[in-house]
């Protein structure tokens, strides 16, 4: 089976590679030629445009930064919709606004193209080892028809509801992750300022109720001062902006989300937008005058 893959960044590149490892033929496109060349080097075939990908593939996956990028790649000139046939399935694995997913699906549906939104959680490490958590919105029959493909990139794929439900679920996920990272930075700065070795605090509490995947992954990065991006501050700002917009639209209070957003905006202003989101530790270092490492 030919699968089109559009968007070969930090997440998309390893996801496409996992499809290749599973035996699928992958036709890829990215605006960055180097990303395409790297993916072609491990067995993919290159296409000249999003339209060209869709012309060749009955299933097209997009993995792009935000709503405008997906709209341009799918609905814009030379986009997926120009090359797709009735019956083509578009799997948008980007993390975008739920209303944007619905808008894209409506436009595609007019041509008989089926759309599901299937954003992921797990960052670059889980993209590499194929253990992402995938949350899906759209027609359940379409989801079931591509579930095996999704499970070549993820450890789980859960149908959450109609189109847009996947991205709503992802926004909930991103709120939990952002607040968890901020809470970890706050707690471990308390330990540091109080004269208790943060690494020992981590060993003491990670097996209890406070323990989490986020703590295990992000606190060691904070303590080492290693902010190489697995998921960038700039991208988390994008997700929290979508969460706040959605929350305002549906009347959901998001005061903690708003607080963490302001921390991330401070870091962006300080030139840290390309850091990993564990760099929330830098915010606490700044306001406390104390570094973790």
For residues 149 and 25, membership in a common domain is answered with yes
The predicted structure's pLDDT at residue 165: 98
Regarding predicted confidence, which is higher, 124 or 166?
A: 166
Q: What is the mean pLDDT of the chain?
A: 97
**217 part of a folded domain:** yes
Residue with tokens 């847009």: 164
> Mean pLDDT over residues 14-37, rounded?
98
Q: Which residues contact 27 (CB under 8 A, 6 or more apart)?
A: 2, 3, 4, 5, 44, 45, 46, 47, 53, 56, 57
Mean pLDDT to the nearest integer, 64-81: 97
Residue 293 in this model has a pLDDT that exceeds 90? no
The predicted-structure confidence for 196-230, as pLDDT tens digits, reads as follows 999 999 999 999 999 999 999 999 999 999 999 98
- State whether 191 and 143 are in the same domain: no
Total domains in the chain come to: 2
Compute the average pLDDT of residues 223-245: 94
Last residue of a domain, one of 123, 141, 162: 162
Is there a domain that residue 246 lies in?
yes
Residue 257, domain extent: 168-288
Same domain, 132 and 9: yes
pLDDT at 104: 98
Is the same domain home to 140 and 173? no
Residue 142 lies inside a defined structural domain of this protein = yes
- Does 157 lie in the same domain as 12? yes
pLDDT score recorded for residue 123 = 86
Give the CATH number, domain containing residue 196. 1.10.1040.10
- Say if residue 172 is in the same domain as residue 158: no
User: Domain boundary at 143, 162, 181, which?
Assistant: 162
Per DSSP (E only), the strands in the chain are: 2-6, 25-29, 45-46, 59-62, 89-92, 114-117, 120-121, 132-137, 154-161
Please report which confidence band the pLDDT of residue 173 belongs to, taking 50, 70 and 90 as the band edges: very high
Residue 1 has pLDDT above 90, yes or no: no
**What residues does 122 pair with on adjacent strands?**
none
Q: Is the pLDDT of residue 147 over 90?
A: yes
Average pLDDT over residues 263-286: 98
**What's the CA gap between 39 and 151, in Å, rounded?**
20
Shared domain check, 191 and 153: no
d(CA 218, CA 133) in angstroms, rounded, equals 18
Q: How far apart, in Å, do the first and last CA atoms of the chain sit?
A: 49
The average pLDDT across 110-139 equals: 96
In sequence order, what are the residues at sequence separation of 6 or more whose Cβ sits closer than 8 angstroms to the Cβ of residue 244? 254, 257, 258, 261
Query: Is the model's pLDDT at 245 over the cut of 90?
Result: yes
Q: Is residue 147 domain-shared with residue 231, that is, in the same domain? A: no
Indicate if 105 and 192 belong to the same structural domain: no
Q: Are residues 49 and 14 in the same domain?
A: yes
Q: Which residues are catalytic?
A: 170
The pTM of the full predicted model, rounded to 2 decimals, is: 0.91
In a domain, 274, yes or no: yes
Is 258 in the same domain as 241?
yes
For residue 84, what pLDDT is reported? 98
Q: pLDDT by residue (tens digit) across 128-142?
A: 999 999 999 999 999
CATH number for the domain spanning 68: value is: 3.40.50.720
293 in any annotated domain: no
Final residue in a domain of this structure, among 114, 141, 162: 162
Instruction: Count CB-CB contacts under 10 A for residue 159.
Output: 20
The token duo for 178 is: 């952002």
Shared domain for 7 and 145, answered yes or no, is yes
């Amino acid at each position: 089976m030919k699968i089109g893959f559009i968007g070969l960044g930090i997440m998309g590149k390893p996801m496409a590679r996992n499809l290749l490892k599973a035996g699928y033929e992958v036709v890829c496109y990215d605006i960055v030629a180097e990303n395409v060349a790297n993916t072609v080097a491990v067995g993919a075939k290159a296409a000249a445009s999003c339209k060209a990908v869709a012309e060749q593939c009955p299933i097209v996956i997009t993995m792009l930064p935000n709503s405008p990028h997906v709209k341009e790649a799918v609905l814009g000139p030379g986009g997926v919709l120009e090359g797709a046939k009735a019956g083509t399935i578009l799997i948008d694995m980007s993390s975008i606004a739920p209303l944007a997913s619905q808008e894209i699906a409506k436009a595609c549906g007019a041509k008989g193209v089926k759309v599901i939104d299937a954003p992921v959680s797990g960052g670059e490490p889980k993209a590499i080892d194929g253990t992402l958590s995938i949350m899906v919105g759209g027609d359940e029959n379409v989801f079931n028809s591509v579930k095996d493909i999704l499970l070549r990139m993820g450890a789980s794929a859960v149908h959450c509801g109609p189109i847009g439900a996947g991205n709503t679920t992802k926004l909930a996920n991103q709120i939990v992750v952002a607040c968890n990272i901020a809470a970890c930075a706050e707690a471990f700065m308390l330990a540091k300022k109080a004269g208790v070795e943060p690494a020992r605090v981590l060993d003491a509490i990670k097996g209890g109720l406070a323990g989490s995947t986020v703590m295990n992954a992000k606190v060691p990065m904070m303590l080492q001062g290693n902010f190489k991006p697995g998921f960038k501050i700039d991208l988390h700002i994008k997700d929290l902006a979508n969460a706040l917009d959605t929350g305002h639209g549906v009347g959901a209070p998001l005061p903690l989300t708003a607080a963490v957003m302001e921390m991330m905006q401070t870091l962006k202003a300080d030139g840290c937008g390309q850091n990993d989101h564990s760099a929330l530790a830098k915010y606490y270092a700044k306001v406390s005058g104390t570094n973790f490492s």
